[in-house]
Structure 1
Amino acid sequence: MSHPNSFGRAFVYAGEGIWTALASERNLRVHVTVALAIAAGGWLFALTAVEWMAVVLAFGLVMALELMNTAVEALADLASPEIHPLAKRAKDTAAGAVLVAAMAALALGLVVFVPRLPDFGHDFMVRWHQSPIAVLAVAVVLAVALGLLWGVVPRHGRTRRRPEPFR
């Protein structure tokens, strides 16, 4: 029988994995920053429920695949510290999966947001008049996300040396 707290521990371990990946993987930080920017844009442009579902699913898929890519890279490095064509194939294939999902998310973003761009100024002013505090909060969130992306805000594990990838 499993330990009574094993379900809760699974969430803790998953959170540690996400945090570690955010601290060590630049591409994941890029995806999170873009997701926050898209969320801010979605709020400004008042996306429909269906559009929100599509956007959230697209970014969830991209981030999940980025986490899997990180896991595949770590396992390949562990299993084959020296250069090996199968390790390279595993790493490249996992990275390709992230790229395919990111391109699909980009296409979705273009379909959802490009038609709304001519109304951006109007939508922004409407939101500003409705809630200037919310607009400022969105700006702060984006600033923190960009700080994480560019290394201005300290990250967990920043001083740890990341294993060199082999190719």
Structure 2
Amino acid sequence: MNRSSPYKSTGGLVRIVRAFGYSLQGLGAAWRHEAAFRQEVALAVILIPLGLWLGTSALERLLLAGVLVLVLVVELLNSAVEALADAISTGHDPLLGRAKDIGSAAVLLTLLLAAATWAAVLLPRVLPD
């Protein structure tokens, strides 16, 4: 029994172009509907160039910028979970609430990882041995 979705594309260059378009739609939706995403983008717009400037090696630059991109990725996934949960029910449902809380926890852990990464890279330069 073939249960594939009629909304799934089959492949090729057209699929790649469409997937890119869907990704842009997703970024636009997150920007329009998610204040946390807008705040994190604003922070990333400031901190990514700063991290690229402050990093003294390619690895440091990758760590400082990459961890901020990771925050945005996790925020997008959290927003997707929240939107799906709200589409299912806006009433109180313990499992939907748990899903939202877990998504929020993932964002928090990623923000803590970002802060720890920046501290690990930059603090040794300003603190005496």
The TM-score by the shorter chain falls in which range?
0.7 to 0.9
**SS of aligned partner of 1:81:** coil
Query: Under a length normalisation based on structure 2, what TM-score does the superposition of the two structures give?
Result: 0.80
Query: How many angstroms apart in 2 are the aligned matches of 1:89 and 1:80?
Result: 13
1:37-60, CA deviations, whole angstroms, 9 ceiling, x for partnerless residues?
Answer: 222322443531001111232122
- The corresponding residue for 2:10 is 2
Q: Which residue of 2 aligns with 1:147?
A: none
Structure 1 counterpart of 2:29? 20
Count residues in correspondence. Answer: 118
Residue 82 of structure 1: CA displacement? 1.3
Instruction: State the distance in 2 between where 1:52 and 1:116 align.
Output: 15
Is 2:29 aligned against 1:33? Answer: no
The match for 1:93 among 88, 102, 112 is 102
Structure 2 residue matching 1:67: 3-state secondary structure: helix
- Which structure has more RCO (C-alpha within 8 Å, separation ≥ 6)? 1
Q: Within 2, Cα distance between the matches of 1:59 and 1:13?
A: 22
**1:66 and 2:75 equivalent?**
yes
Match of 1:84 among 87, 90, 93: 93
Equivalent residues of 2:70, 2:110 under 8 A apart: yes
How many angstroms apart in 1 are the aligned matches of 2:87 and 2:114?
31
Conserved 8 A contact 1:76-1:87: yes
Task: Specify the SS of the correspondent of 1:54.
Answer: helix
Unpaired segments ≥5 residues, structure 2: 1-8
| Residues 19/84 of structure 1: CA separation in 2 closer, same or farther (3 Å cut) | same
Identity %: 34
Q: Distance in 2 between the 1:39 and 1:31 partners?
A: 11
Q: Could you tell me which amino acid in structure 1 is paired with residue 115 of structure 2?
A: L
Cα distance in 2 for partners of 1:102, 1:43 equals 19
* Kept in 1: contact 2:31–2:38 (CA 8 A): yes
Partner Cα distance (1:86, 1:55) in 2 = 35
Give 1:51's aligned residue: 60
Task: Tell me the CA shift for residue 116 of structure 1.
Answer: 4.3
Q: 2:81 and 2:115 mapped to 1: Cα distance?
A: 24
Instruction: Work out the CA distance in 2 between the residues paired with 1:94 and 1:110.
Output: 25
Amino acid at match of 2:106: A
Contact 1:45 1:116 in 2 (8 A): no
> TM-score, normalized by length of structure 1?
0.63
